[in-house]
Structure 1
Amino acid sequence: MTAFESNSLRSYSQEEVQQILQLAIARQTHDHNQEFSYQQIIEIAAELQISPEIVKSAEQDWLGQQNEVQQRKAFEVYRWSKFKKRLSNYTIVNIFLLLMDLIGGNTLSWSLYILLFCSLALVLDIWNTFQTKGEEYETAFQKWNRKHQIKQTINTVLNKWFKTWQA
């Protein structure tokens, strides 16, 4: 059996075909920053007997996925900034209490209990902030996303309204 015959007898699942073609395209483009035009994508799809309508639908799905990835990144930045604010508040309050206790009695006593309880709250806050999976995370993301979309809608309406008044 020749190498050609053994190659023609092989079969691959759809996922395996996608992975092989993805690697082949990556190797084909020596420069990883090379971009393909929409027309080139349509031509590649035509060679694979994929209709332009399916490509258009897949592109829309991909754009939606990319939008969600960007939204999740923005949500992570938002959560991180909120955590940093809470951490700085925790630090300032506890330093103040420790200094009050130290100045008031030349020793640390009652402030250590407050520090211990605040540390427990801080650990729980860290756990909740950096937990990126699960139902609570999804609920928090959906809530933030709705607020974000409402703000964008209001800003768009106000901008249009101001533009009509300026004209």
Structure 2
Amino acid sequence: MTAFEPQSIRSYSQEDVQQILHLAIARQADDKDKEFSYEQILEIAAELEIAPESLKLAERDWLVQQGQVQQRKAFDSYRIRKFQKRLGNYTIFNGFFILLDLITGGGISWSLYILLFCGLPLGFDGWNTFQMKGEEYEMAFQKWSRNHQIKKTISTVLNKWFKALQA
């Protein structure tokens, strides 16, 4: 399509409309802190002839997606903290052996073997920690999510049980 076609001949697919409107909204909203009320969203949807039921379903889907994004962020920060702890342990452990090697032998010799032997698993752990895509990541996320849900459920049940005992 060229820019010279009359406006009445132009037609767009639904995906094109979504992209054009997304870009237009992004350009208009220079202020990143600007928020829209639900009534304003309803008005926009009405102007676009979007049924209120469709808007509610879309909002519910969006909320689910936002929850999943938050869960993934929590999982990623958990993995990074876990790796940082392991890196700290590695540093303390190997620092002790290097210091011991320096004191006893006057140089660094046998402690390098321990440093390399312990560094290999740490390297693999680092690789897995910062690999944020793929099947292994998804499996680890699902396992973490299940464990997180189980802990949350147990905590809720215990809290209700303790409240019942106190009453």
Give the aligned residue type for 2:158.
Answer: L
Cα deviations by residue, 1:84-140 (Å, 9 ceiling, x for unpaired): 100000001101111122222222221111112222222211101100011110010
Unaligned runs of 5+ in 1: none
* Structure 2 CA distance for aligned equivalents of residues 57 and 46 of structure 1: 15
Name the counterpart of 2:139.
139
Matched, 1:58 2:45: no
Q: How large is the RMSD of aligned CA atoms in angstroms?
A: 1.9
5 Å matches for 1:8-87?
8-87=8-87
Give the aligned residue type for 2:31.
Answer: D
* Structure 2 CA distance for aligned equivalents of residues 14 and 117 of structure 1: 57
* Structure 2 CA distance for aligned equivalents of residues 10 and 92 of structure 1: 68
* Structure 1 CA distance for aligned equivalents of residues 48 and 86 of structure 2: 54
* Structure 1 CA distance for aligned equivalents of residues 87 and 125 of structure 2: 9
Unaligned runs of 5+ in 2: none
Name the counterpart of 1:91.
91
Q: What is the aligned length?
A: 165
| Deviation (angstroms), 1:5 | 6.5
Greater mean alpha carbon deviation, residues 70-79 or residues 146-155: 146-155
TM-score normalised by structure 1 residue count: 0.89
Structure 1 stretches of 4+ moved >4 Å: none
Structure in which a larger fraction of residues adopt helix? 1
TM-score normalised by structure 2 residue count: 0.89
Relative to structure 1, the CA distance from residue 30 to residue 98 in structure 2 (aligned partners, 3 Å threshold; closer, same or farther) is closer
| Deviation (angstroms), 1:145 | 0.7
* Structure 2 CA distance for aligned equivalents of residues 29 and 136 of structure 1: 39
